[in-house]
Structure 1
């Protein structure tokens, strides 16, 4: 049995204007995530990939379909029942600059979810030191503020905060898109190492097919609320079957100018053919 099972998921948002009909942004999506594995959700802005992550986190109410975690239906959970899942399902957001409280020390940021779940101050402090080591930050970070760190270091803090309660699933919502390429690579390798050590599963949301290819075991491609292709990451990202997936692949830049021109021309032809 998969850790996370999504079946026929539909989400509607209110339409713009008075008495406007609601707009369906997900049209019956099926997806599953196995324990200790990574599923990459990829698509352009507006494809619905972030909405899937928000639905799993309980931030969006589905209009139809099912979301099951460890066999339990969670799509309709609210209040205390939903909060009880916080130790099992965590999130790493896109922007490390706004996802951390600027007035709290790193130690307090990391200890907060532990104390909420019943840890003593002493135990929380010990766990915080362990988390800092796990995300490869110095122990003196515990008494420093977020503004004293670079973007990549702040994202490591955000990852440590997500790991604090010992979750089985982390929703990664564009976790490296705000970072430079070198820092992206380091953070991705950190996530891979953490998965090997802890067995945590990732639902990894990104617009970048190259990033998804690097970290994912399986890839699902979304286009305007529909899943147009899914399968093994190596297969989907090297020999895509759907024209939209091929367009995403061709959108990634390469270092060779001649090859880059050829990719642009091929992508233009695909755009013309599917317009």
Structure 2
């Protein structure tokens, strides 16, 4: 894949492998030559089942897993082998929202301390950090007195708003959203997704939105990439791909999404069974 100057992030022939079980076991290749790109202000939805490799792509971009081969280019510079100091600098531009709002926040730190931590790590003045925390709480629609409270005083949806605020603290250009609503109930999911869409409209931040749910990805994304067993099997415009998928695996994912109508759900289950190899 040739790097396009209009691409904020380009992943080219990315391969990641993990050690096998047992000291003589062969390594397991988790990503098998992944190509994808994200433009400024764009959301790329990355969808697949558990074990497909979708989370590993996000972790490779964040420098949390070693890259066996291939390149990851951010704003024109390669980052797949970035060292600790470069990663610290990159944290101003690339951030992450993790799946579980209950474990992603330190239970012993106040919300204010959690939100100011990345700012102070970048040597922002304490008074400036306090002002920024107030602005962040307002941006994610939490009351100002949240800064002095602990995570246990908040619901799951509120905690995920805190996690979003933390990701926004340094005004990043790209956020890796790793299943950010899968641990929430449906009503709270909708509220958090709307918040993420509003933030993108306000800030022009780009998202890599990782999910197993095609309906969520369709709502959030401009484009969608479907991953299966470490390979991208289909990529395209979100509306087109989620309504007229071409690859059998994508069609199976679409038919797996639950619907409220019992008869329609039964027909979808029958169609899914016909597509799934015995």
TM-score normalised per structure 1: 0.98
The one of 248, 257, 263 equivalent to 1:252 is 257
Aligned partners of 1:103 and 1:171: how far apart in 2? 25
Does 2:241 correspond to 1:236? Answer: yes
The one of 104, 129, 138 equivalent to 1:133 is 138
Shift of 1:217: 0.4
| Deviation sequence 1:186-218 (CA, Å, 0-9, x none) | 000000000000010000100011110000000
The one of 4, 24, 31 equivalent to 1:26 is 31
Instruction: Tell me the secondary structure at the aligned position of residue 90 of structure 2.
Output: coil
Instruction: Tell me the secondary structure at the aligned position of residue 94 of structure 1.
Output: coil
Aligned to 1:199: 204
The one of 6, 14, 21 equivalent to 1:16 is 21
Aligned partners of 1:94 and 1:71: how far apart in 2? 29
Aligned partners of 1:43 and 1:15: how far apart in 2? 23
Aligned to 1:104: 109
The one of 75, 94, 98 equivalent to 1:93 is 98
Aligned partners of 1:103 and 1:225: how far apart in 2? 38
Aligned to 2:126: 121
Aligned partners of 2:132 and 2:90: how far apart in 1? 20
Does 2:56 correspond to 1:51? Answer: yes
Shift of 1:84: 1.0
Q: In the comparison of the two structures, how many residue pairs are matched?
A: 273
Does 2:142 correspond to 1:143? Answer: no
The one of 8, 21, 26 equivalent to 1:3 is 8
Aligned to 2:182: 177
Aligned partners of 1:94 and 1:105: how far apart in 2? 20
Does 2:227 correspond to 1:225? Answer: no
Aligned partners of 1:82 and 1:19: how far apart in 2? 33
Aligned partners of 2:119 and 2:236: how far apart in 1? 37
Does 2:82 correspond to 1:66? Answer: no
Moved over 6 A (4+): none
Aligned partners of 2:87 and 2:163: how far apart in 1? 21
Instruction: Tell me the secondary structure at the aligned position of residue 31 of structure 2.
Output: strand
Instruction: Tell me the secondary structure at the aligned position of residue 227 of structure 2.
Output: strand
| Deviation sequence 1:5-50 (CA, Å, 0-9, x none) | 0000000000111211111011101000001010000000110000
Structure 2: segments with no counterpart, 5+ residues: 1-5
Q: Over aligned residue pairs, what C-alpha RMSD do you find?
A: 0.6
TM-score normalised per structure 2: 0.97
Aligned partners of 1:160 and 1:153: how far apart in 2? 11
The one of 151, 158, 172 equivalent to 1:167 is 172
Aligned to 2:3: none
Aligned to 2:218: 213
Aligned partners of 2:20 and 2:265: how far apart in 1? 40
Shift of 1:257: 0.8
Shift of 1:90: 0.3
